[in-house]
Amino acid sequence: MQTARGRLRATVESRTSDALRARLDRLAAEYADPDDLLRAQHTATLPVYSHDLLGSDTEAEALDARAHRQTWDDMLRLQREGVYPAAFASLRLPVLMIHGAEDPHPGHMVYESLTPYVPTIEYVEIERCGHYPWLEHAAKGTFFSILRAWLGRHAVSESPPSVH
């Protein structure tokens, strides 16, 4: 995971222009509220993570800086303690990982790190696609087609148990 995280950082750094770096530096002075700052940073870096977005509405209004930090800190702790991704070994259901070929997150590296724990994982990569396939021009249709077909192949034929 640390190798993949290093690759992510290097990719993001290589895609970040001097102008964007300066803009990100200015944002910290412009926004006192941590949630507003996180939203502004997210919006500013969309081009780094995307191929060709349909728009900039990625539901960033729901960002919560405190929860974001707590969640990430917890993830790092779980990795250090060996809990994650080992806990995924209990999964018995099929798992699909759809990833954009131009996403700075190194999808194939993440996939390879998960396969020892999640033997049922399938990996599909979409060309001309970044981090938000459902929001990108070239990838949206492909993303939903892949998802629909996969769900169709893995649909449960039994009715869910009734709850009384």
Q: What integer is the mean pLDDT of 52-75?
A: 84
Tell me if 161 is assigned to some domain.
no
Tell me if 55 is assigned to some domain.
yes
Other beta carbons within 10 angstroms of residue 58's beta carbon come to 18
Is residue 80 scored above 60 in pLDDT?
A: yes
Tell me if 38 is assigned to some domain.
yes
pLDDT at position 59 is: 65
Tell me if 159 is assigned to some domain.
no
Tell me if 164 is assigned to some domain.
no
Place of tokens 């070929």: 101
Mean per-residue pLDDT over the chain, rounded: 90
Task: Tell me the sheet residues that pair with 53.
Answer: 136
- Helix 2-15 to helix 107-114 angle (10° resolution) is 170
Task: Tell me the sheet residues that pair with 150.
Answer: none
Q: What is the pLDDT of residues 90-107, one digit of tens each?
A: 988 999 999 999 999 999
Cβ proximity of 135 and 53 under 8 Å: yes
pLDDT at position 63 is: 85
Q: What integer is the mean pLDDT of 125-148?
A: 94
Q: What integer is the mean pLDDT of 138-148?
A: 94
Cβ proximity of 120 and 92 under 8 Å: yes
Nearest to 49 by CA among 16, 22, 24: 16
Tell me if 162 is assigned to some domain.
no
Is residue 74 scored above 90 in pLDDT?
A: yes
Q: What integer is the mean pLDDT of 31-50?
A: 93
- Helix 18-30 to helix 34-49 angle (10° resolution) is 170
Q: What integer is the mean pLDDT of 95-122?
A: 96
Compute φ and ψ for 82, nearest 5 degrees.
80, 10
> Strand, coil or helix: what is 154?
coil
| pTM (two decimals) | 0.83
Cβ proximity of 124 and 149 under 8 Å: no
Give CA separation, 98 vs 125, 126, 140, in Å.
Answer: 6, 7, 12
pLDDT-based confidence at residue 71 (cuts at 50, 70, 90): very high
Tell me if 22 is assigned to some domain.
yes
Question: Residue 128 sits in which domain range?
Answer: 2-153
Could you give the number of structural domains in the chain? 1
Tell me if 115 is assigned to some domain.
yes
